[in-house]
A and B are shown apart, each in its own frame.
Chain A
Amino acid sequence: MRARAVSAGAEPPGRPGTTAWRDGAAFSFEEVRHRYGAHLAIDGLCLSVSQGEMVALLGPNGAGKSTAMSVLLGLARPQEGTVTVLGTSPRRAVADGRVGAMLQTGTGTGLPSGVRVEAALRLVGRLYRSPAPFEATVARAGIEGLLGRWTHQLSGGQAQRVRFALAIAGDPELVLLDEPTAAMDVQSRRAFWTMIRQFGTEGRTVVFATHHLQEADQIASRVVVVNHGRVVADGAGASLKAAVASRRVHFTCPVPDQARLDALEGVTDVTVAGTSVVLRSMDADATIAALVRGKVAFRHLEVGSGGLEEAFVRLTEPAPGTEADA
């Protein structure tokens, strides 16, 4: 069986220090576990992100993305494991003004009532020891036209831009965005990501959580798939599409011949377990035609997309001998 879950989350425990903070790391999780009551929100999370990376945390609702962000911000203290942010503790990093964040606000705007945008932004700038110049923040977030508005007069998309401005007002090294485009229409979404991409080119580390595959793929240079509180896959955004485009072909075969199956048209990966065979194929039609032509004795044929999670596990299989987490 060639397939292996690769994520750092699958690393055997008892190897402390292997993903320890080193020069250039924006943050790292080592074997982190965090539970809310009976719910294990983060379950053995291991992840290290270098400075300057643009990373998408991709996963379904409840996968642990928001909890991971809370932990990075020192809002939640995990019961087990070590979290290092910019070489120090999450709380220290936030208190030193080195981290900025745009959190989920549910139904609220995330902004104070009864003030104009400019006043709120100036206040947040003053909370930092060395904030970015006010005009620079305004320009980066593209909110020149909103400064004079009352916070309750903003549309959903405008409020998100203002909240992004608040997140970057302190000129942070690390910016965390938790589903930042949740309340936006298609157009504001596009404009927002253009702005984030520009911001990311300035050498800062940007991490955003999303459950939109496309967003992750188009914006991030690295996509980390999280599910059930651990990393299930970790790879470059560009290879994502190919992995997702591939199909999973499943059947049973009395005597599977791995080498022969490997050679079938379109097949990129073969997993054999007893009589059960799973092929990953870039062209399922051609693969099945080849199965028939090659007189492979298959039964119970099923073709499926395999799901994103599985696609990612394939995607991030390491070459032998390499470290699992980049």
Chain B
Amino acid sequence: MTPLLAFGRFEIGRLLRSWKFLAITVGFPVVFYMLFLGDHRSGEIVDGTVPWRVYLMVAMCTFGSLVAGLTAGGGRLSAERLAGWSRQLRVTPLPSWSYVAVKVTATMLVVLPVLVLVEVVGASFGGVREPAGTWVALTLLMWLVALPSALVGVLIGLIVHPETAFPVVTGLMFLIGYFGGLFGPVDRMPHGLQVVARVLPSYHQASLGQSLLDGRGFRAGSWLVVAGYAVGLALAVLVVHRIDERKGLA
């Protein structure tokens, strides 16, 4: 077994065993979604083409990926760096990039059950009716475009001190959620905020999910933005990790 696989298996096993952490991380966006469900606007057409109930479910999938990314990637990683475990790994033959690669992969694995649960709630209480194939496609699509969320989480985990991790993580979660148009339709926002929303990846992640359900089809612009964020954030993660390594034990 290669070092990368051994470390990957170890990390994912460790994550799966911390079920309290997982229950909160996965449960939070689902509960949050349910708080929105009583909304009278459910049938209203928003942001051009989709009913609010569909918009909301996809937005909550995106919000869920952000929650999972920031808590599983961010909070845990930050604590681990302080404990000195990541530094211990740095003096083993494990290649430096595989540490962050495994962290991003493990974070992505936490995103998946969040998406599935939000969709289950959407189908059972949220009034979203779709054929089975569309559900599968939507899940895979939302999972793929969740990559920037996982990367943001890992990046934050590499930068912030555990003491400040909690406010930073929750702050970012709600700021990105709000300004990214995940808590309300973007077209109802003031014009200035609509511009902000379109700059954030979360708006485009949600937008790609909606495009699958409203038949508007391929949105090249959104794909480009999401891919751009993924590449940019991945580079940032690698650079920050390298700097962190160099700092050593000053």
Interface residues of A (CB under 8 A from B): 36, 41, 66-67, 69-70, 73, 75-77, 94-97, 99-101, 103-115, 119, 123-124, 126-129, 163, 166, 170, 178
Say yes or no: B14 contacts A77, CB within 8 Å: no
Say yes or no: A36 contacts B250, CB within 8 Å: yes
Say yes or no: A95 contacts B10, CB within 8 Å: no
B215 interface residue, CB < 8 Å from A? no
The closest CB in chain B to the CB of A169 belongs to B92
- Known A94-B93, A103-B88, A129-B93: A114·B83 in contact at CB below 8 Å: no
The digit string for B7-37, where 1 denotes a CB below 8 A from any CB of A, is: 1001001100110000000000000000000
Say yes or no: A103 contacts B7, CB within 8 Å: no
Say yes or no: B84 contacts A119, CB within 8 Å: no
Say yes or no: B85 contacts A127, CB within 8 Å: no
A104–B91 alpha-carbon span in the complex (Å) = 12
Say yes or no: B85 contacts A110, CB within 8 Å: yes
Interface centre among A97, A104, A107, A123 (most CB of B within 10 A): A123
Classify the secondary structure of B's interface with A.
helix
- Known A103-B84, A127-B3: A115·B14 in contact at CB below 8 Å: yes
The closest CB in chain B to the CB of A95 belongs to B93
Number of B interface residues at 8 Å Cβ cutoff, please give it: 29
Q: Which residues of B contact A129 (CB under 8 A)?
A: 93
Say yes or no: A113 contacts B246, CB within 8 Å: no
The closest CB in chain A to the CB of B85 belongs to A112
Minimum Cβ distance to chain B for residue A207 (Å): 13
The closest CB in chain A to the CB of B6 belongs to A126
Minimum Cβ distance to chain B for residue A150 (Å): 11
Say yes or no: B248 contacts A110, CB within 8 Å: no
Q: Which residues of A contact B129 (CB under 8 A)?
A: none
A-B contact pairs, 22 of them (CB 8 A): A36-B250, A67-B249, A73-B91, A75-B90, A75-B248, A95-B93, A96-B93, A103-B84, A105-B83, A111-B88, A113-B79, A113-B80, A115-B14, A115-B17, A123-B7, A126-B6, A127-B7, A127-B94, A128-B3, A128-B92, A129-B93, A170-B93
- Known A75-B248, A170-B92: A126·B80 in contact at CB below 8 Å: no
B47 interface residue, CB < 8 Å from A? no
Minimum Cβ distance to chain A for residue B11 (Å): 9
A128–B94 alpha-carbon span in the complex (Å) = 8
